[in-house]
Copies of this chain bind each other. A is one copy, B any other.
Amino acid sequence: MNPEDEERAARLTLSFLAEPGEPALGALLRCCRPAEVVAAVMSGNEPRTALPAAAELSGLARAVRRWRSRLGRLPSAAALAAWERDGIRLLCPGDAEWPTQLAVLADAQPVVLWLRGGADLRYACLRSVSVVGARAATGYGEHVATEMAAALAERGWAVISGGAYGIDSAAHCGALGAEGITVAVLASGLGYGYPKGHLELFSAIAGQGVLVSEWPPDRGPTRPGFLVRNRLIAALSCGTVVVEAALRSGALSTARHARDLCRPLMAVPGPVTSGQSEGCHEIIREWGAVLVTGARDVIENVSPAGDGLDARRIGPVYPRDNLDPVTLAVLEAVPPRGGSGPASVAVAAGVDLNTVLRCLGELAAAGFVERCAQGWRLRKDA
């Protein structure tokens, strides 16, 4: 096994043994390669670490023993193959699609991410907003979340949320309805699918965006898992908007992560007579969250200074020569007007359909191409 494959295999293994957000794993990966940690777990010995404090060492030893006790969780080859057939793929730090946004987590990065869906996670996150809020949303909140997500998507921004009922669902649906990219970051495995009532929504997101989880595909949700997941929602996006949240809503934990990560934090006000807006008002007043009333305000807050203020300039345009040769070939096969379907683009570019779909998603997120009635065309301002 070459070193790269060895690292992937080790990270996959650790994904099944350690809980996302466990500090011991971060501490170990600061000084050991993943394969060394796995070897230590398998052998029952401590890994060769160079950690200073004995106390911390003993905590790590406990963690290694805990992971060893979970070796039964490791998946069979058949299970891995089945997930792959379901379109679930493993993403590791260092992969081209690994979100650069996650650098903000420093040593607390996920050991792996599990993905399902055609959109490129890294491209999507580069130009994305998290739109979150209460499960028990009001009609007002769902309306605002849907409209905001649709308007963000129309302006080329990906919408990130948590796949839950209420505001999350409204945000995903708004982006999907506007034919935009949406990212659902789940607190359970992608093969498990929680909540069950959203399996259809998750299929739609996989078709047009991407589903993300730190948990292995077979894992169900746990209460602390939601809080761990929330840090990822805040970290992946350029900024977080809370649409509706009661004072003790979980959405405020996402807001707290955004604030702590120094990412723009925004909130939508609502009637002061509505308990579901109390959390929004609280973070505007007490945390300095910026009051936003729509997508325009949001874009002003998450765009680099001066960007996004000009209504004609819809988004950043990356230089073509940063594109890899295959993506560039796809871009050159997209017509400037009229529009072509993915199959025609695939023929023109000489690549297979899956690659075309993935490249088009990347190119759209990067502002080169846009969907139209006839398929895809170059964006006029690109």
Contacts and interface: CB of A to CB of B under 8 A. Distances in A.
Nearest to A140: B271
Interface in A33-53: none
B294 A290 contact: no
Given A273-B140, A284-B284, A293 B268 contact: no
A270 B285 CA distance: 14
Contacts of A269: 269-272, 277, 281, 284, 291
A144 interface: yes
Contacts of A277: 269
Contact of A285 (B281, B290, B294): B290
A271 B293 CA distance: 9
- Chain multiplicity (copies): 2
A354 to B, nearest CB: 40
A289 to B, nearest CB: 10
A144 B290 contact: no
Interface in A255-308: 268-273, 277-278, 281, 284-285, 290-291, 293-294, 297
A293 B297 CA distance: 22
A278 B293 contact: yes
A272 B297 CA distance: 12
A270 B144 CA distance: 13
Contacts of A281: 269, 291, 293
Interface string A112-145: 0000000000000000000000000000100110
Contact of A284 (B268, B270, B273, B291): B291
Contact of A291 (B271, B291, B294): B291
A285 B291 contact: yes
A152 to B, nearest CB: 15
Nearest to A144: B272
Contacts of A271: 140, 269-271
17 contacts: A140-B273, A143-B273, A144-B272, A144-B273, A268-B272, A269-B277, A269-B281, A269-B291, A270-B270, A270-B272, A271-B271, A272-B293, A272-B294, A281-B291, A285-B290, A285-B291, A291-B291
Q: 3 tightest CB-CB pairs across the interface, nearest first?
A: A269-B269, A272-B293, A285-B291
